[in-house]
Amino acid sequence: MKQVTLHQLKVFEAAARHGSFTRAAEELFLTQPSISMQVKQLSKSVGMPLFEQVGKRLYLTDAGKELLTLSRDIFDRLSQFEMTVANLKGLKQGQLRIAAVTTAKYVIPRLLGPFCHRYPGIDVSLQVVNHEVLLERLQNNEDDLYILSQPPIATDLVCHQFLENPLVVMASADHPLAQEQNIPLQRLNGEAFIMREPGSGTRHAVQELFDKHKIKVKVRLVLGNNEAIKQAIVGGLGISVLSRHVLALEGANRQLTILDVEGFPITRHWYVIYPASKQLSVVAQTFFDYLIDEGKTIAETTDALKITSN
Ligand code: PGA
């Protein structure tokens, strides 16, 4: 293993991530035969095959999976070291990788704005995924920080709450219930409803409330995208439950309204989390502290992020 080079590990990581030598070659501006050669040499040093091919796709062998974890650790540690050196030089710079659940995409970019102005040397990549995919990314140690509403209980995590995320019932402005107040939850029985996809944290929270009160809505459509759900509501396909933040940029001329239903808003919060065993890079620690210290204040003073009822 001592002959293994960082270049080979980088090539291997890209091939494993894409499940394809061709795509890895495109990403790294190399040729497909040179990727294949690097992986071959790496397998030789390991003494076991790293991939197996089924049809056109490559799958990692058990040794390959172990090596992928090791490679990611090595690159993590190297980039942490780079950031530490930059920090010693008085610069905050490096790569910040964040994964956030879909509804947080209405908030995190707003908070990132002032942060990136303050630290122009920090490059940010933001992955927006649903709750289930975010947990997979956490498991695979793919990002520095994770933003979600329901931190898993079982895992050993550092976890801080930083902002409110109320879930509300949204309907089109001309919905028959739009003008009513104190609508009993039971009135939602049989309502045409647009549901988020399985694996969504929003769906989980809604389902939990409905199950508890034995509410049976009529699910007309399952959609994995909050923007598409808003369009479907306006299109008259039904009501839905979404984070109030998805109305952030709706403006005054709203075609959507929030129904005043008993039991709502479902009070939730966003948390920023990372595995307790992970040593945060300087850059990730800086963003973590920023979210905790200033996230709330910025959200409260940014018009589009204010949580006001309509
Ligand atoms: P979701 O998560 O995008 O998976 O619905 C949102 C949340 O958990 O608040």
- Write the class of the CATH domain 167-259: alpha beta
205-233 exposure pattern, b = at least 16 Cβ within 10 A, e = fewer? bbbebbeeeebebeeeeebeebeebbebb
Q: How far is the CA of 44 from the centre of ligand 1 (A)?
A: 44
Question: Is pLDDT larger for residue 303 or for residue 32?
Answer: 32
Token couple for 89: 């030089």
Ligand 1 in contact with 130 (CB < 6 A)? yes
Nearest residue to 227 via CA among 252, 250, 204, 246:
246
**pLDDT tens digits, 179-237:** 999 999 999 999 999 999 999 999 999 999 999 999 999 999 999 999 999 999 999 99
Token couple for 279: 């040593």
Residue nearest to atom 8 of ligand 1 (CA): 201
User: Alpha-carbon torsion 302, 304, 307, 310, what sign?
Assistant: positive
Ligand 1 in contact with 149 (CB < 6 A)? yes
Tell me the best of 149, 159, 209 to mutate to test the pocket of ligand 1, counting ligand atoms within 8 Å of each CB and taking the most: 149
**What is the C-alpha to C-alpha distance for residues 181 and 162, in angstroms, rounded to an integer?**
31
* CATH architecture designation of domain 6-68: Orthogonal Bundle (1.10)
Ligand 1 in contact with 202 (CB < 6 A)? yes
Residue nearest to atom 9 of ligand 1 (CA): 149
Kindly report the backbone phi and psi dihedral angles of residue 97, in degrees, each rounded to the nearest multiple of 5, phi listed first: -110, 120
Ligand 1 in contact with 200 (CB < 6 A)? yes
pLDDT band at 308 (very low <50, low <70, confident <90, very high): very low
Same fold: 6-68 with 167-259: no
CATH superfamily of 92-162+269-309: Periplasmic binding protein-like II (3.40.190.10)
Judge if the upstream peptide bond of residue 152 is cis by omega within 30 degrees of 0: no
What is the pTM (predicted TM-score) of this model? Answer: 0.74
- Residue 41, judged by CB atoms within 10 A of its CB (0-12, 13-18, 19+), counts as middle
- CB distance 99 to 129 below 8 Å: yes
Strand partners, 100: 128, 147
Nearest residue to 41 via CA among 33, 29, 30:
33
DSSP state of 253: S
- CB distance 110 to 305 below 8 Å: yes
Strand partners, 53: 58
Question: Is pLDDT larger for residue 163 or for residue 194?
Answer: 194
Write down the domain spans for the chain.
6-68, 92-162+269-309, 167-259
